[in-house]
Amino acid sequence: MNEREPVAESVIRLQAVKPLSRGHQRLVFQHPLQTDLLIKVLRAEYVQDKYGSGSSFHNRHRRCREYQPFLVEFREYLVACARAPQCLPYLQEIVGLVWTDLGLGLAVRKVTGRDGALAPSLNRILRLHGALDSRRKHLLDECLHHLECSDVIIDDLNDCNLVLGVDALGAERFVLIDGIGSSTLVPIKPLSALANRWSKRRRIARLRAGIQAKEQALVK
């Protein structure tokens, strides 16, 4: 057996399982053995397009190859742990890596709502209710403030990767479940706190403008 291959008994079988959600880059599954965990795996189409034979020389020769997104996310979560622990409640907890029959998977803590189901996204809340009430607006402001003031780099911020979960005490909180870390070839934001803060302010401003536009459209 190739030393790089996992032991067959340790591989989590996901191929025959319906994913909980599908994104451009990843599929998200319920962990079959731990109800409080999810497993994120890379979509085969994304891997082929981004790191296959027709991709850029740079991507084909990355040391982590198709697992570069996991490295980026792991590294940024470590930055949060070391330099910005105050923002950890607003980031999905990364638990570790697991072998699956769909490749290496990223195990993360499941964020749930009051009903125990997956926490609803900000996008879903806007579609259901038309607007955020004053309490939830405050919760969103609190989340975005902690993210903006931290050293954490955010590469993608939208109303689909912000979800409204509850903590162990039953208090609601917005949590960013995807989009941390820098994916640029020349990593400017890790080297400049000013550039990072400026980038996050722009993303937050776009998010707020998008929320306002959706609220106005839903009122009409």
Domains of the chain: 8-219 (1.10.510)
Q: Model pTM?
A: 0.90
Taking residues 52-74, what's their average pLDDT?
87
Q: Does position 2 have pLDDT exceeding 70, yes or no?
A: no
157 vs 55, more confident: 157
Percent of the chain with pLDDT over 90: 75
Tens-digit pLDDT profile for residues 170-183 = 999 999 999 999 86
Tens-digit pLDDT profile for residues 177-218 = 999 998 665 465 565 788 899 999 999 999 999 999 988 887
Q: Write the secondary structure of the chain as one string of H (helix), E (strand) and C (coil).
A: CCCCCCCHHHCECCCCCCCCEECCCEEEEECCCCCCEEEEEECHHHHHHHHCCCCCHHHHCCCCHHHHHHHHHHHHHHHHHHHCHHHHHHECCEEEEEEEECEEEEEEECCECCCCCECCEHHHHHHHHCCCCHHHHHHHHHHHHHHHHCCCCECCCCCCCEEEEECCCCCEEEEECCCECCCCCCCCCCCCHHHHHHHHHHHHHHHHHHHHHHHHHHHC
Taking residues 49-63, what's their average pLDDT?
83
